[in-house]
Every structure is written in C-alpha cells, then in structure tokens.
Amino acid sequence: MSEMVKRLRERRENVWEQAKAIADRAADENRALSGEEEGEWQSLNAELDALDKRIKNVIDGEQRAKDAEDAMAKLRGEPRKQSGNGPQAQGNDELRAFLRGEGARYYDVVPNGPVNYRDLSKLTAGAGGNLVPTGFYERLMAHLIETSAVLQTNPTVLNTSSGESIQVPKTTAHSSAAIVTEAAAISESDPAFGQVTLGAFKYGTLIQVSRELLTDAGVDLEGYLSMQAGRALGNAFGAHMVTGTGTGQPRGVVTDATVGKTGATAGGAITADDLIDLQYSVIAPYRASSSCFWTVKDATLGNIRKLKSTDGQYIWQPSLVAGAPDLLLGKPIVTDPNVAAVGSSAKSVVFGDMSQYFVRLAGGIRFERSDDFAFNTDLVTFRALLRADAALVDLTGAVKVFQGAA
C-alpha cells in the first residue's frame, strides 16, 4: 500500500472520529442534533464517501501506472516480471492477434485452470490483490465482481464448460430430533428438499474501439476491454442477482430470502435494535460463515452509520485495512444500488450466509469482433457475451431480510 493511500485512510479514520464526536455530544446531552450539527454531520459523511472514492481512484491509478510501465518495458525489449513463455503469455498473444483482426472473428475467454473467486474479490493490493492472477480472464472477473455486491460476498460459483440446464437440490427444511424414552420408537424426520434449475441466461454488451488504439502496441488494450466488459456485464447480471424474478432471468437473493425482522417504525425506518434482531434471526452456523455479509443501498448505509447499540457504541465500524469492507455488528457490509431503499414494506437490508447463493457461469466470456458494424467511423466493434444464472439454494433461513413497517 502506497504512502498516499495510507494518508487517505488515516484521514478517513480521523473524519469518522469527528463525526462520532458530534453524535456523542448530542447523545450525552440527551438531545437531537442541532441544525448546525446536522449540517456538519452530513458534510463529514459526504467526505467519508469522497475519501472512499479517492482511495479507490488512487489504487486504480497506481495499477494503471504499473500496467503502463510493463507495456513500455515490453516495447524496450526488457524482460517482464512474469514469464513470457508460459500459457498466460501465450494466451495474451492470441488475444492481441484477435483484437488486431488476425485469425477468427471470435475469442473465448475461459479460466486457465481453477480460479479462486474469493481471491478475486480482493480488489486492492493492500487487501491481497497482489495475490490475484493477472490474466485477461481474471482481470475481467475482478471488474465484474467489483461491480456486483453479491459477487463480493463469496457466493458459491459453479463454472461449467457448456450451458445445459443443471438441477441443484435446495434445502427447504432440516431434520429434527427429540428425546426418546427407553424402547420407544424413534420418529422419522427427514430433511425436505426441492430442486432449483440453473440455466444460462445470455448477457451481452457492445464495445467500440478506434483502429488507432488497436494498432498502438503500447496501450493496455486488454485492461481496457476487461474493465469495460466486466463492468457492463456486472451491472446487468448484478441487478438480477439482487431482485431477479426467476422468470426469464436469474432468481435474486432478495426474491428467495425470508423476512427475519419487520420494523415497527413508520416509513420503514431502521433502528439499531432492528438490525440486531435481524442478525440473530439467522442461526449461528450461518452467522459464523466467512460468507456472512450485510448488503444495503448506499443511502441506507448513510443512515446506519448514525445508529448506536444500547450501550452507546456505534454498530458500524470503518475498516482499518485497505480494500476490506467496513463492519456492521462485527460482520462485513457491502453496498448495492439494486437493494431497495428504506421505505414502507421495503426489503432494505439483506443479511446471511451468501455461500448458500449459487452462481452458475456457463463457460467463459465470448468476445466477437466486427469491422463492418461501424465502418463509416472506422471503429472496431467487440461484442462480449456472458451466460449465467443464479438462485438461493438454502431456503431454511440462511439469508434473511429486514422489511420496513407497512
């Protein structure tokens, strides 16, 4: 982690302490925030959000600078840090040839061996991003994960080579046990199962690149395409992973999750007690999972930052590690714009073991090239296609939601 990022994170921690001091002062005096204090509170929270974006931009800029230096080293004929004779380098050479229009009109981007999706969720060097492979597929998946909150929560990913429908058993009830007296018959109690079909819905995006950019060997074209395709596909697929209906699209986690807590405050407002109740509505084995996350909308997180437990402690705590998510009641929290805003009957908070949410990826991502689609502007058009599906497979309460008062 660079000195710039360290200073920004120190500033972030300082801003949060200032915001806490304002809220604590009002709480100690048993009063609401004054108009001036409310303005200062909102200003400090806005600065927190701005610092988060700045930190991310600095980290991204440092990575771009490293990529540019690698490209210039290649032009100068200097050896690169990674071996240029392995399958990864060969794959990048084939990709470059495809981008220049040499060979076939399509290029299938598939994993080069097993992919650790949990490592791919570590999007910054300070959080372990340096351990992530830097191949084109891995870079593309990293951008897709960065865009989708659900993919940041360590769901179970099934990567198949083809797209035929697969049947995955889903648990709807667990077995139960009871005390049995001597010589008495033991009652049968079987778990209840259903089936969920994971298909392969097709997502697509068009990306246009100038011919000049394609012929400039010093440009990190692979990085540009992986970013554009990853973000576009992540936005589309990510929305369905939250609220998809399952009809003509994946089933969203909110669609299948059960209500763990219904609020009692008008307008659907959330209290600290509501969140504590929601957390403990999910049983301990699921709460203990490394894939147990909170997911909310950005605006909802702004409100949650103000909440305290009965002992006066803030239930939200900023992360002290670059790239790691902040914590809510000791569990990581991520934001997704597709989660409902706070409101009457709105399911505005998601909590639970996201490893019970299955994501199916059918093969890799297919890139197809057309020199004719934008012939009059001398742009080369690339089409990126992803086939995927998703559903929650444990319906016994692994993932629950907070629903606002009606």
Most confident of 20-29, 130-139, 225-234, 331-340: 331-340
139, 88 Cβ separation under 8 angstroms: no
CA–CA separation, 27 and 20 (whole Å): 10
Alpha carbon distance 117, 111 (integer Å)? 11
Output b/e per residue, 344-372; b: 16+ Cβ within 10 A: eebbbbbbbbbbbbbbbbbbbbbbbbeee
Higher pLDDT pick, 250 / 54: 250
Higher pLDDT, 1 or 66: 66
- Under the banding of pLDDT at 50, 70 and 90, the label for residue 181 is confident
Rounded Cα gap, residues 61 and 158, in angstroms: 32
Residues 5, 72, 70, 100, CA torsion sign: positive
Q: Name the residue among 279, 259, 273, 254 with its Cα closest to residue 352.
A: 279
Note the pLDDT tens digit of each residue in 270-286.
Answer: 999 999 999 999 999 99
Can you tell me the mean pLDDT for 215-234?
A: 80
Q: What is the residue type of 275? A: L
Mean pLDDT over all residues of the chain?
81
Give the residue among 350, 343, 313 at the shortest CA–CA distance from 155. 350
pTM for the whole thing?
A: 0.74
Quote the pLDDT of residue 311: 82
Of residues 321 and 226, more confidence is placed in 226
Gyration radius of the chain over CA positions: 24
The region of weakest confidence among 103-107, 231-235, 358-362 is: 103-107
Tokens coding 43: 């200003």
Residues 366-397 have pLDDT tens digits of 888 888 898 899 998 989 999 999 999 988 88
Every domain of the chain and the residues it spans: 1-76, 86-168+195-250+359-392
3-state secondary structure 298-352: HHHHHHHCCCECCCCCECEECCCCCCCCEEECCEEEEECCCCCCCCCCCEEEEEE
For 354: left if phi > 0, alpha if psi spans -120 to 50, otherwise beta; the answer is alpha
Distance of alpha carbon 225 from alpha carbon 231, whole angstroms: 10
Residue 293 clears pLDDT 80, i.e. is over it: yes
Nearest-CA neighbor of 73 among 205, 174, 217, 177?
A: 217
pLDDT digits (tens, 9 = 90+) for 301-317: 988 998 988 888 899 99
The angle at the Cα of 331, spanning 192 to 350, to the nearest 5 degrees, equals: 55
CATH class belonging to 86-168+195-250+359-392: alpha beta
Token reading at 160:
């198949």
